[in-house]
């Protein structure tokens, strides 16, 4: 089945220790997104890639970076995690950007704990 | 500043009755609205959507209504089933943005 896969599902890191979250997709979609969802909050878009074109949200902290080496994979790097970065990180994909029917497909998420 | 608001954190409905989940938005540039359903330990899954040029979209037991003048949309589930118990997120897109703006979600509990 075509899907969006996130690894690991649970990640524990220490305060200030860099961490990388992984997302892969078999849908061959052009657009990949990273959302952050803190407890009882709405998912919030951090950034997205349209093919290799990186698009950062204005309020995404510099501490968050992303890489997309190919169509299938996208990584979220947190350079120096703080306690406030503990959250669920959701990866999503869509076939096109800014189309009328921009359905996004989500992975199961990675829950990040910062000690 | 929340642009998409779901004011009911939770909703309890009896099996077989109608579930109505509400969503309000503030950004008049939004032109497309979606509902996602989320089970524990899973990612959100797409449920139903509506374009701003319509006021109703129906898919089986699910109907979404859009009132543009009130900046309000609602999701109706009829009849409600135990498997509908989940968190429902309202999301919106528009103004040239690629990503979605989500509400905080409503936890729907279907009671037998």
**Separation between Cα atoms, residue A80 and residue B8, nearest integer Å:** 35
Q: Which residue of B has its CA nearest to A48?
A: B99
Question: Is the pLDDT at A2 greater than 70, yes or no?
Answer: no
The percentage of residues in chain B with a pLDDT greater than 90, rounded to a whole number, is 88
Which residues on chain A are in Cβ contact (under 8 Å) with B42?
108
**Separation between Cα atoms, residue A71 and residue A51, nearest integer Å:** 7
Cβ contacts from A onto B, under 8 A: 60
Q: What's chain B's average pLDDT?
A: 94
Task: Return left, alpha or beta for A40; rule: phi > 0 is left, psi -120 to 50 is alpha, else beta.
Answer: left
In this complex, do B42 and A108 lie within 8 Å of one another by their Cβ atoms? Answer: yes
What pLDDT, on the 0 to 100 scale, is given for residue A101?
60
Quick one: CA dihedral A17, A111, A34, A8, positive or negative? Answer: positive
pLDDT digits (tens, 9 = 90+) for A78-88: 999 999 999 99
Find out whether the peptide bond into B81 is cis, omega within 30 degrees of 0.
no
Which among A48, A98, A103 has CB closest to B46? A103
Provide the token pair at B112: 């037998």
pLDDT band at B16 (very low <50, low <70, confident <90, very high): very high
pLDDT band at B4 (very low <50, low <70, confident <90, very high): very high
Sheet bearing A4-7, strands edge to edge: A4-7, A19-25, A73-78, A64-67
Q: How far is CA A77 from CA A52, A98, B43, in A?
A: 17, 26, 20
pLDDT digits (tens, 9 = 90+) for A38-81: 988 999 999 999 999 999 998 999 999 999 999 999 999 999 99
pLDDT digits (tens, 9 = 90+) for A95-105: 877 655 668 99
Count Cα neighbours of B73 within 13 Å in the Cβ-side half-sphere. Answer: 30
Q: Is B10 exposed, middle or buried (0-12, 13-18, 19+ CB in 10 A)?
A: exposed
Question: Is the pLDDT at A12 greater than 60, yes or no?
Answer: yes
Is-contact B62 B49, C-beta < 8 A? no
Which among B41, B46, B104 has CB closest to A42? B104
């Amino acid at each position: 089945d075509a899907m969006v896969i996130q690894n690991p599902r649970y990640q524990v890191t220490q305060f200030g220790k860099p961490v990388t979250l992984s997302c892969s997709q078999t849908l061959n979609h052009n657009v990949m997104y990273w959302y952050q969802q803190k407890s009882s909050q709405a998912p919030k878009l951090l950034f997205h890639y349209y093919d290799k074109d990186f698009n950062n949200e204005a309020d995404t902290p510099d501490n968050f970076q992303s890489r997309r080496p190919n169509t299938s994979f996208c990584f979220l790097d947190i350079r120096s995690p703080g306690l406030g970065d503990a959250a669920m990180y959701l990866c999503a994909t869509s076939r096109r950007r800014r189309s009328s029917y921009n359905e996004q497909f989500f992975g199961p998420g990675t829950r990040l704990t910062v000690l | 500043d929340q642009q998409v608001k779901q004011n009911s954190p939770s909703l309890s409905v009896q099996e077989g009755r109608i579930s109505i989940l509400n969503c309000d938005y503030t950004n008049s540039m939004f032109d497309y609205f979606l509902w996602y359903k989320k089970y524990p330990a899973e990612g959100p899954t797409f449920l139903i959507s509506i374009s701003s040029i319509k006021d109703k979209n129906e898919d089986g037991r699910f109907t979404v209504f859009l009132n543009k003048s009130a900046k309000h949309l609602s999701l109706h589930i009829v009849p409600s089933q135990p498997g509908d118990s989940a968190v429902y997120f309202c999301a919106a897109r528009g103004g040239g943005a690629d990503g979605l703006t989500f509400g905080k979600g409503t936890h729907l509990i279907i009671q037998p």
